[in-house]
Amino acid sequence: MGDSFAIPAATVQDVDLSGADAVLAAEIRRLGDLMERGDESPEEFAKLIRLLVEAGQVSKAEFLLRRNLETVAGELLLYRELFGTMKPDEFTAAIQGFIQQFGVVLEFVSSRGFLDGLYRIQPGPPRSDAFALLAERCEVRFDFVDPNFVAADVSSESDERYLLLRWVSGVWELAEQKDK
């Protein structure tokens, strides 16, 4: 169908279909090949997701759909039908946890896609810990691009400092800190 339907960074090559029905596995492989070439339609991508679920590859199907939701037919309705609200609820809890753990005020700036949003941090009281940057005016991008955790990329608005954080077991932890 051309580049207009290409699914970014998507593959089913790593899916073990050895225990699946042969016809089901063949159709998943066919649709996976189309997807990797960017030749599938939104309807074919939705079918691929449903077939992966049927084949018992629920985690792979959920992650693939989560990362490519805007390109599939049925969008959020399909996601909620197949996977419920667990990941969206976790995303919301992570943002609320950020506010509570760090005592900051967040101002919504924009949505960058499904489970991906940009916020501005209002400057707070001075901090002397590893999270001192959070006392300054910053932008924070929350996203769920990893299969297993929500991430926060905090960037200073005044210089090039940033923090990378992960939401793990209900707590924000430092993933990496860089000063450029």
pLDDT at residue 2 in the model: 42
Q: Are 121 and 135 in contact (CB under 8 A)?
A: no
| pTM summary value | 0.82
| 116-122 β-sheet, strand order | 105-113, 116-122, 138-143, 150-156, 162-168, 171-178
The ranges of the chain with pLDDT < 50 are 1-9, 177-180
Q: How far is CA 131 from the centre of its chain?
A: 23
Q: How many CB atoms lie within 10 A of CB 17?
A: 19
Among 48, 91, 55, 54, which residue's Cα sits nearest to residue 71?
A: 48
Domain assignments of the chain as residue spans, ordered by start: 3-83, 87-178
pLDDT in tens, 35-64: 888 888 889 999 999 999 999 999 999 999
